[in-house]
Amino acid sequence: MTDYESILVETTGRVGWITLNRPEALNALNSTLIREIVEAATAFDADPGIGAIVITGSAKAFAAGADIKEMADQGYIDMYLNDPFARWGEFGRLRTPVIAAVAGFALGGGCELAMMADLIIAADTAKFGQPEINLGVIPGIGGTQRLPRAIGKYKAADLILTGRTMGAEEAERAGLVSRIVPADDLLTEVAAVAETIASKSLPVVYAAKDALQAAQETALAEGLRFEKQAFTAAFGLDDQKEGMAAFRDKRPAEFTHR
C-alpha cells in the first residue's frame, strides 16, 4: 500500500476507506491532501475488488475548506496556471460509488468535496457551509453549481451569499444529506451502507451511478434515453439472470461481478 502524508487508507472487505488526516488544520485541503485523495480514490476505482469508497475526516472536521494559508498570497496567474484543484475532476468521474461520512465542519471545499460523493451520511454534529464570501472569494470547486442542484436556488443563495453554516438537521431537511446518524455511530452506519452497495453487481452499480449522474447533468429527455439504454444493457449480464432467478427461488442473489 502506498504511503501517504495526509490521508489514511484502508480496505475492509470490498470497501475502500480514505480518512483525511491533517488534524492540525481541520483537514484543510492543501495541494498534498488533494493529490493524495485523488490518487487513493482512483486506485480504489481501478480495483474490481472494491465496490464502494468511503471518504471521511475526524470527529471535529470532515474538511474546513481549501487551505486558506496556502492560497492567501496567490495571484490570478498562480491560480490559473497552478490550480491545486485541477485534478478534482477525476474524483467526480469515479465509477465506484462514494459515500462522504461527515462529522463536524464541512465548509467551502470540504462541503464541495462531500457534494462530489454519491451519498452524504452526516453525524448529528455535522455543519455545512460555503463561507468563501467571508474571505473575499466565491466557491471554486462546484459549490455554486452543485449546491443549488442539491437544495434549490434560494437555500443555496442563503448559504453562499451570507456565508452562514447549517447544521445536520437543516441540511437533511434541505436535501443535502442522505441520512443523519448519532456521531458515535457514524462509521458503523456508513460501513453497513457501503457493504450493502458493495454486495451488489458491480457493473449494475456503475450503471446506476452513471444514470444518477446523468440526472444532474442532462435535460430530462436525454436522461430518460440514457436510463433506457442502461436498463436494457443490464439484460445482457448474467447478474440480471441471477438476480431475477434468486427472487423467483426466494433466496439471496449470488452475483458474479462483485
Active-site residue list:
66, 109, 112, 132
CA distance 204 to 132: 38
Q: CA-based angle 154:155:158, to the nearest 5?
A: 90
The residue type found at 185 is D
The least distance separating ligand CO8 from the CB of residue 21, rounded to whole angstroms, comes to: 13
Closest approach of ligand CO8 to the CB of residue 237, in Å: 40
Segment 150 to 209, residues that bind ligand CO8, using CB under 6 A: none
Helix axes 153-162, 143-151, angle to 10 degrees: 140
Among 44, 62, 85, 128, binds ligand CO8 (CB under 6 A): 85
CB of 85 to ligand CO8, least distance (A): 4
Which strand ranges, in their side-by-side order, compose the sheet holding 15-20?
7-12, 15-20, 52-56, 98-102, 119-123, 179-181
Residue 105's nearest CA partner among 57, 177, 69, 173 is 57
Is residue 34 within the footprint of ligand CO8 (CB under 6 A)? no
Site string for ligand CO8, 116-155 (x = CB under 6 A): ---------------xx--x---xxx--------------
Binding site for ligand CO8 (CB under 6 A): 25-26, 28, 64-69, 79, 83, 85, 105, 107-109, 131-132, 135, 139-141
